[in-house]
Chains A and B, each alone.
Chain A
Amino acid sequence: MARNKRASTDEIQELNLTPIMNMVVILIPLLLLSIVFLEVSVINITAPKLSVGPSQPVEQEDPTEKLNLTVAVGAKGFEIGATGAILPQKPGCPVPGPTICLSKQNVDVTAKFTRARELFNAGNMVEGEGVLKEALDAYNWVELYNTLARIKTEYKDETVMKISADPDIPYAAIVRVMDVARFRLEKDTYSKSSEFWTASYKKSGTGQEELFPDPVLAVAQ
């Protein structure tokens, strides 16, 4: 017994870490749960010029030079127009229809968008997102890129693209259009969707070669 006592007094007094440990063990899972491992980025948008009347002075630019490229997203596909004219239809599309029709003609995207919204409202984020993705996959993004790349080759100085959409087209589709139109890829035309999405950007100098990186949103009427 005597030996025991002496041994304990000789020992260097150690800090009792148990309560700190307890706290740390609780704090770590708490912080881990609250953290979202997502990177946020932004897209610069110019506001739609839709104030009634000519409140803003018209930009001093040669009207003949201005391309005024407009991409309208609809339930049937994309309608691409420039300076008053609408591009001819892509072969294989139903005749009264948009410039670039859906790549999956049998998909009813409107119904899918509505369904996705219903699922979101019901709090079912995962399933809703799946339906939304299905609907977005029906669009012909590859052909949209091909067309835009072709236009860009002709009008090298244009960077502005107007985006318009049907009133119930979801925000995700608009953002996707901006993504497709931002940079030029390695090739100017793609035929397969998988090839298109895995392609990397074409380098020019220090950055990427631009396509139409300045989207302007137009109002849905």
Chain B
Amino acid sequence: MSEHHFDEEEEQHLLEQREREAKREKRSGRREEPAGALSMNSLMDIMTIILVFLLKNYGDEPIKVIGEDLKAPESVSELGPEDMTTITVSQKAILVNNAKAVDVKNGAVDKSQKKGGEASLNIQPLFDELTEAIKKKKRETKLLGQTYEPTATIIADQGTPYRLLTEVMYTAGQAELSQFKFAVVKTDRKAFVAE
């Protein structure tokens, strides 16, 4: 008698019915979850954890050392960065606290921007911008009751010529900054092995 139950036509009918039922169920939202189906809840938990982790990391970095036209050199230094006045020397511009001070072309600042001709080390727009930034910083530290330290972080591209670097430091020195911190990408000594 079982043979009668499973003839082709009936089987087809059963399958169709099941399909319809499944469709209906889908439309009306999951009503009865079959045992063993993937639960959305656990997935949701994972997502939430990842999201919180990423959001936390997002605002963590006090300084940006990598960008479109900027990559700090690699170093094995182990000192941590601090939040302070930053001077960024990218391939295209010099920025003070992310505000553009002067353009850079082929690893040099245009001589018209320098105070006292081509041989001068003083980059005037950078000096102005720095004095402004330092004034602000001094006010800030005074309000917070901290002591002002004349330090700045220099984030320079790895290809920056030494000449430009000294010009930037000289200008910063004129603006009464005496201690510098070079921002670098932390790496391992083994990364320097020559092929």
- Which A positions have Cβ atoms within 8 angstroms of B? 4, 7-8, 11, 17, 20-21, 24-25, 27-28, 31-32, 34-36, 38-48, 50-51, 73, 113, 116-117, 120-121, 123, 125, 128-129, 132, 137, 141, 165-172, 174-176, 178-179, 182, 193-194, 197-200, 217, 219-220
Beta-carbon contact of B47 and A43 below 8 Å = no
A-B contact count (CB 8 A): 202
Beta-carbon contact of A43 and B181 below 8 Å = yes
**B109 at interface (Cβ–Cβ under 8 A)?**
no
Partner of B169, one of A48, A113, A178, A197: A48
Given A167-B163, A171-B160 in contact, is the A39-B185 Cβ separation under 8 Å? yes
Roughly how many angstroms separate A60 CA and B71 CA in the complex, as a whole number? 40
Partner of A44, one of B31, B55, B69, B179: B179
Given A32-B54, A172-B73 in contact, is the A197-B44 Cβ separation under 8 Å? no
14 A-B residue pairs with Cβ-Cβ distance under 8 Å, sorted by A, are A28-B47, A28-B50, A41-B184, A41-B186, A43-B77, A44-B181, A45-B179, A47-B180, A48-B169, A51-B173, A132-B159, A168-B107, A171-B161, A199-B189
Roughly how many angstroms separate A10 CA and B134 CA in the complex, as a whole number? 67
Partner of B182, one of A8, A43, A200: A43
Roughly how many angstroms separate A217 CA and B172 CA in the complex, as a whole number? 13
Of B62, B153, B182, the most chain A CB neighbours within 10 A belong to B182
**B177 at interface (Cβ–Cβ under 8 A)?**
yes
**B13 at interface (Cβ–Cβ under 8 A)?**
no
Helix, strand, loop or mixed for chain B's interface? Answer: mixed
Q: Which residues of A contact B76 (CB under 8 A)?
A: 179, 182
Beta-carbon contact of B91 and A120 below 8 Å = yes
B73's nearest neighbour on chain A, judged by CB, is A172
Q: Which residues of B contact A39 (CB under 8 A)?
A: 185-186
